[in-house]
């Protein structure tokens, strides 16, 4: 969070931000209070003070500080002479909210009330807070329709968030809206490169049980290759039959169009078999060494395996 009121050089090391990322809310609070002695209207310091107090469960004081910070941010936004300055101030408000939700989203006592405070009291349309509220509303026996509406608001703010698309797909599945389920699950897979694969999660998600025999759904979540050379190897690895996977790996390697498609699962099977203590350890180790050397050679040449990435949930 920058000094959105312009009182500090953005390149200066911010002691409040440094303390926050060091997990020291007491130091954040002390630095914020010191800044407020110099300037009681420092919206930046008020934001940090509120964050520090919130995570230490001093909620009334935290909310008062954050409300004052947002009032100042909005007043500065209204008085700003150019769009760049307005953007900085809007970003500052979202940064405060991001820190708050990131810190408290998993807290069963503070997380949902904090998200409601951001959306309802601070009146900030904030996608992560809306998602927290939707997850709460959609709990067991919850309001899937109301939660879906919150998620649609979140997607209007961030249309490429994979977690929001995935949760919305789950809720729409509960409501029996198959075309929209496939649409949002597809978006979750498309945008989720940096997250646990929605494709992998969907294979075991109870909300999708009604679609388990649907060809379109199955094609979307399929992680095993269709190639008849590779599929038996991946099936064996997927079911945990690593000894069989070792045998199939050697055979697939001789026939695979892209060697890495066979080498990666073959290496995984060799490692797991060695860890299990089964088989001839010396023979397996020698095979693993050769496989690793070949993998490194191909990687140095720029080769990739989309097949294995999809199987692992990375694509």
Model pLDDT for residues 104-129, shown as the tens digit of each residue: 988 989 999 999 999 999 999 999 99
Pairwise CA distance, residues 219 & 207, whole Å: 17
Question: Quick one: tokens of 266?
Answer: 């073959």
Q: pLDDT-derived band of residue 6, with 50, 70 and 90 as boundaries?
A: very low
Residue 241 neighbours by CB under 8 Å, 6+ apart: none
| 15-218 belongs to CATH 3.60.70.12 | no
CATH 1.25.40.10 maps onto the chain at: 15-218
Which percentage of the chain shows pLDDT scores above 70? 94
Burial letters for 86-118: b for 16+ Cβ neighbours within 10 Å, e otherwise?
eebbbebbbbbbbbbbebbbeeeebbbbbbebb
Q: What is the pLDDT of residues 177-214, one digit of tens each?
A: 999 999 999 999 888 865 558 888 898 899 999 999 99
> In terms of Cα–Cα distance, which of 159, 152, 156 is closest to 175?
152
In the predicted structure, residue 5 carries a pLDDT above the cut 50: no
Mean pLDDT on 3-27: 73
User: The pTM is what?
Assistant: 0.77
Pairwise CA distance, residues 101 & 110, whole Å: 10
Burial letters for 248-278: b for 16+ Cβ neighbours within 10 Å, e otherwise?
bbeebbeebebbbbbbbbbbbbbebbbeeee
Inter-residue contact 230 to 261 (CB < 8 Å): yes
């Amino acid at each position: 969070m920058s000094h959105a009121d312009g009182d500090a050089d953005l390149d200066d090391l911010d002691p409040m931000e440094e303390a926050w990322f060091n997990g020291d809310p007491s130091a954040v609070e002390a630095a914020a209070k010191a800044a407020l002695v110099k300037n009681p209207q420092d919206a930046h310091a008020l934001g940090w003070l509120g964050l520090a107090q919130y995570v230490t469960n001093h909620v009334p004081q935290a909310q008062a500080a954050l409300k004052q910070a947002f009032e100042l941010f909005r007043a500065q936004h209204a008085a700003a002479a150019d769009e760049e300055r307005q953007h900085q101030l809007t970003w500052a408000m979202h940064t405060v909210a991001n820190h708050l939700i990131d810190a408290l989203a998993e807290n069963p006592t503070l997380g949902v009330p904090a998200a409601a405070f951001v959306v309802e009291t601070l009146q900030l349309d904030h996608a992560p807070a809306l998602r927290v509220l939707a997850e709460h509303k959609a709990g067991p026996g919850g309001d899937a329709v109301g939660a879906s509406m919150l998620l649609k608001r979140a997607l209007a703010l961030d249309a490429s968030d994979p977690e929001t698309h995935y949760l919305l797909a789950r809720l729409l599945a509960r409501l029996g809206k198959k075309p929209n389920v496939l649409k949002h699950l597809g978006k979750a897979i498309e945008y989720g490169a940096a997250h646990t694969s929605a494709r992998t999660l969907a294979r075991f998600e109870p909300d999708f049980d009604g679609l388990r025999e649907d060809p379109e759904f199955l094609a979307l979540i399929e992680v095993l290759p269709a190639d008849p050379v590779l599929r038996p190897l991946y099936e064996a690895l997927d079911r945990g039959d690593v000894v069989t996977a070792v045998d199939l790996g050697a055979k697939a390697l001789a026939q695979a169009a892209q060697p890495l498609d066979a080498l990666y699962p073959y290496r995984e099977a060799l490692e797991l078999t060695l860890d299990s203590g089964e088989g001839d350890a010396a023979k397996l180790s020698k095979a693993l060494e050769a496989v690793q050397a070949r993998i490194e050679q191909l990687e140095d040449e720029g080769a990739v395996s989309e097949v294995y990435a999809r199987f692992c949930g990375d694509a």
